[in-house]
Every structure is written in C-alpha cells, then in structure tokens.
Structure 1
Amino acid sequence: MSTPPKDRYIPNALKFAFGGGAGMLATCVVQPLDLIKTRMQLAGRGKSSFTVASEIIAREGFFSVYTGLSAGLLRQATYTTTRLGVYNYLFDMYREGNQGASPGFAIKTVLGIAAGAIGAFVGTPAEVALIRMTADGRLPKEQRRNYKNVVDALARIVKEEGVLKLWRGATPTVARAMVVNAAQLSTYSQAREMIAVYISEGILLHFCASMISGLVTTIASMPVDIIKTKIQNAEKGQSQMSVVTNLIRKEGVFSLWKGFLPYYARLGPHTVLTFIFLEQMNAAYFSMNEKA
C-alpha cells in the first residue's frame, strides 16, 4: 500500500505571520501610491495624481516616494495580522457552535466586518504615524514634524500630544475598515464567480476579480478614508467635526473622492500581491515539511 500524503496543515500562528508578512511585502511595492493618495487628499483643488507625483519627486527626490514605509509596514504587521487572526478565531468558533458546519456568505461578511473593525483599532497608531509621515513633505520646512521613522513618530506623539492621540481618527479608521471588508468580501467573490466562466483558475483570474472589487471598494470607502486622513493630520486642538465641515465647505462634496486613481491603483494590486506572496509562503512551508 502506498503511504498516504501528509496533511497540508499550517498552524494558526503561522497563518497570522504569513498573512502579515504578505501584506508587508505588498506594501513595499505600493507604498508610493499610498503617499500620492495621501498628498492628494490633503492638497487643494485642481491637482492630478501625475502632477502631485512629479512635484514630490522634483522637490523631495525620487526616493521620497517611499517616505513613511516603516509606518506602512507596522500598519500591515498590526492591522493585517490582527484582522486575519480574529477572522480565523471567529470562523472556528462558529464551526464549533454549529457541529462543524462552515458559515454561509452572509455570516462570513459579518465576521469579516467584525475582524476588520478590531484590526483597524489595533492598527490606528501606525495609521496616524503613516498619514503624518507621508504628509510631512508638503509642509514648509519650519513646520515639518521630521519624524525619523515610525518608532520616533509614535514616541513623539505620546510625548508631545499624549498617548490618546495615537488613536486620533480611530472612529473613521474603524468605519473605513468595516466598509472595505464588507465591499471586498461581497464583490470579490461575485466578480470571481462571473469571470471564472471566461478565465481559468490562476493569477489572472485573481487579478481581474481584485481590480473589480477594488473599484467598488474605492467608491464606497474613499469618503471615510479622506475624512480619516484629514483628522489624523489635523493640528493640535482642532476638533474632528470642524475638520469635516471645513473640508466640505471649502472643497465641496466631490472632494471626498479626491485621489481616486492612486487609491484604486493601490487597492487592487495590493490585494493581488498579498495573495501571491501568501501562496508562495504557504508553498515554501509545505515544501519544507515534505522534505523533513
């Protein structure tokens, strides 16, 4: 009799580590788009993403497009890892309470929203540091915060403004995560099902479904994202409500979708790259176990 194949199982702790690691690798690729998106959200009217990108490179140098990378990586390490961990925990709890039955699509969406909200709250300090670091270059030199890295940013925020400022804008950050998770879960699965008729299973299918999902998610989540960005970059003492009312009064309702192109260009590829890196990590783990 032939030897049965080894069970292709990955421990939960490694699942979380792989998920966070995949998100961090994807961030290394799309960080410039994140910076351009943030600058557009904070800039006045009339500037395209290409104009903003060329201004950043001309004024601050080519490698400035990776400003805030350490904060972006910390955000993935906290937000993505927590979100995946909580989702898997809630998923397993549901199965244990329902005689091993897997949750349906609606329950999966609810679990995803809950996991996204918790992950976003945990990741808010890194998000605040990221917004400030990517926005710093647009200010006059005498007004810049000049954070050296994410650790310096977090330490100075606590020292200069108090520990609670690390969670500035936590409400819109959590709201954005809930919207993003709800939109991504529903549209990605639906788009993948429709496209699978024409494209076989593989990276191309995942890419197309991710880009469609990213379009819907961008439209739905951008207003919350821009409000979050404005609040987290606001000066000390400025209330959250005044930030929102000033934005709409001065720039109009459609300013809530400012930076649409880099936001969309980041969201789809980040999902695809995260998936590709995650699959490679899983394959490497299985390969090592099979050789052992």
Structure 2
Amino acid sequence: MVGTFAHIVKNTGFTGLYSGLSAAMLRQITYSTTRFGIYEELKSHFAKPTADSPTGSPSLLTLIGMASASGFIGGIAGNPADVMNVRMQSDAALPPAQRRNYRHAFHGLVQMTKTEGFSSLFRGVWPNSTRAILMTASQLASYDTFKRMCIEKAGMADNLGTHFTASFMAGFVATTVCSPVDVIKTRIMSASHTEGGGQSIVSLLRDICRKEGLGWTFRGWVPSFIRLGPHTIATFLFLEEHKKLYRKLKGI
C-alpha cells in the first residue's frame, strides 16, 4: 500500500492522490443518496409496533431485504459515476502514454460515451449492483442491528458514543463482505474494450483463481477498511445528527 502511494506521488505529484475526487463526489450524490433515501422510506413504512417489537423496529431479515432492494437501485443509479471513479483513480498509477486524462467526471462521461458508446457507462453494472446490495445490507442493516444491541443489550444510551460504536462495527462488516466483489468490479470497470473489457465475469473469475489463488478475495482489505471505516462512521454520525435536527424542526 505504501509503495502504491509512493508510485502515484512520483508519477503525478501529491495531487495524484486526489484523482477522481469529482467522480467520487458524483458517485456519492447518485449512489448513496438513492440507497439511503429508499432505505429510510422503506424502514419508516415497515416500522410498526408489534408484540415482538413494541418500538416498531423491523427484524434483521426485514432490514436486510429493504437494504438489498435499496442497494440494487442505488447501484444502477451510481454506476456511470462509479466507472469514472475507478478509471480516474487508476489513471494516476499508469504511465503517461496509457492515461485517459479525464479532466473531471463530466468530461470523462462525455469522452467515454463518444469513444466507447452509451453502454460503456454501465460496464460492470451487475457486479456493481451486487456489490451495492452487499454493501447496503452489510452496512445499513448491520448498523441498525448493532445500534439496537448497544442500546437494548449493553444498556448504552442513544447518543454519539453508541452511533460511533455501531458505525465502526458496520464498517468492519461491510469491508469484509464486499471485498471479493470490489476486486472483480474494479478490474471490469478499469478495463476498456482493447484490454479485455468484454470478458465475462465467469471467465474473469476463472483467470483470477488460476493466476492468484483464493487469496485475491481479500486483496486490498486494509486500504479498503482505511477508506470505508472512517467513511461509514462519518456517514452514520452525520445521518443521526441530520435525523435529530429534522425531527426537532418538524416537532416529531
């Protein structure tokens, strides 16, 4: 990981570490907004008091089902920006002659559509949607479950400490669950037609297992957790404060 950072800085300077920032922001606007919005709407619809759950908290299986549906739709909505994010980040590690040199996410979307067709924006949409399902289910459903356990089992209050603890554990679960799909998704999205971009998922899996063994499933877990762990914590802390402020303004 340190060697990769050094290689990027050597090739493109310190700013190379922030390649793809515009694409990452566009991805969050499309992907995360969609999945969080749909999940919260479904959760509020199914959150009805029952004999087993007087507070109206949905069961774990219900949470996983709602999160999976939300993640699938979010994965499709955010796929074009995700392709840009992968390509712009990988550009910094490539030799100058092989770089695509997208100026920003929208420039990349236009260039990619012109040179590779509209369908290229949805390259890797199925592994990406699968990853979005796993991410949303493991992240959102596990966060709500860990939060409930902290409050009901550990006697913790519904405060910042509980939110931090639950989000940290959710980030660990999400990184572990999504690691294999992340490897496949990145390899498909970073490829072009001339680099084997049309290779099927089954063929890709067969080649990876033959060349690298089963160790590929968790390749890059540490940098993934370094990124996803703080991201998950910040996301849920902000979401909880946002919901608290919204309820206060609405008098709920």
- Compute the TM-score of the two structures, normalised by the length of structure 2: 0.83
Instruction: Please say which of residues 118-127 and 82-91 is displaced more in the overlay.
Output: 82-91
> What are the within-5 Å matches in structure 2 for residues 216-255 of structure 1?
216-237=173-194, 238=196, 239-241=199-201, 242-255=203-216
Q: Could you give the per-residue CA deviations for residues 119-175 of structure 1, whole angstroms, max 9, x where no partner exists?
A: 111100000000000001221111110100000111011100010110000001111
CA contact (8 A) 1:234 1:243 kept: no
Residue-pair matches, total: 239
Task: Measure the CA separation in 1 of the matches of 2:148 and 2:41.
Answer: 26
Contact 1:207 1:269 in 2 (8 A): no
**1:109–1:186 CA contact under 8 A, matched in 2:** yes
- Structure 1 unaligned regions, length at least 5: 1-48
Alpha carbons 1:90, 1:111 under 8 Å: kept: yes
Contact 1:207 1:268 in 2 (8 A): no
1:205-257 CA-to-partner distances (Å, cap 9, x unmatched) read 32222222222222211101110110001131521334333322222221221
CA distance in structure 1 between the aligned counterparts of 2:228 and 2:23, rounded to whole angstroms: 17
Partner of 1:151: 106
1:42 matched to which residue of 2? Answer: none
User: Residues of 2 paired with 1:201 and 1:280: CA distance?
Assistant: 11
**Relative to 1, partners in 2 of residues 1:88 and 1:205: Cα closer, same or farther, differing over 3 Å?**
closer
- Note the C-alpha offset of 1:286: 7.2
Pairing of 1:95-244 with structure 2 (within 5 A): 103-196=58-151, 197=154, 200-237=157-194, 238=196, 239-241=199-201, 242-244=203-205
**1:269: which partner in 2?**
230
1:252-277 deviation per Cα after TM superposition (whole angstroms, max 9, x unaligned):
22122111111112222112212333
Q: Quick one: which amino acid aligns to residue 200 of structure 2?
A: Q
Q: What residue identity is the alignment partner of 2:87?
A: R
The alignment yields a C-alpha RMSD, in angstroms, of 2.7
The AA in structure 2 aligned to 1:182 is A
Partner of 1:70: 22
Structure 1: how far apart are the matches of 2:18 and 2:62? Answer: 38
Amino acid at match of 2:224: Y
Task: Specify the code of the residue in structure 1 equivalent to 2:205.
Answer: V
> Aligned pair in 2 of structure 1 residues 215, 65: CA closer, same or farther (>3 Å)?
same
Give the aligned residue type for 1:138.
A
CA distance change for structure 1 residues 94 and 276 in 2, over 3 Å: closer, same or farther? Answer: closer
Is the alpha carbon distance of 1:74 and 1:253 closer, same or farther for their aligned partners in structure 2, counting shifts above 3 Å?
same
Q: Aligned equivalents of 1:116 and 1:215: distance in 2?
A: 18
The amino acid that maps onto 1:240 is S
- 1:78, distance to aligned residue in structure 2 (A): 0.4
Change in Cα spacing, 1:193 to 1:286, as seen in structure 2 (3 Å) is closer
Conserved? CA contact 2:47–2:58, under 8 Å: yes
Tell me the secondary structure at the aligned position of residue 103 of structure 2: coil
Higher relative contact order (CA 8 A, sep 6+): 1
Q: Distance in 2 between matches of 1:219 and 1:280?
A: 27
1:59 maps to amino acid: N
**Percent of pairs with identical residues:** 37
Cα distance in 2 for residues equivalent to 1:85 and 1:214: 19
* Structure 2: runs of 5+ lacking an equivalent: 51-55
Per the alignment, do residues 95 and 191 of structure 1 end up closer, same or farther by CA in structure 2, a change over 3 Å counting? closer
2:218 matched to which residue of 1?
257
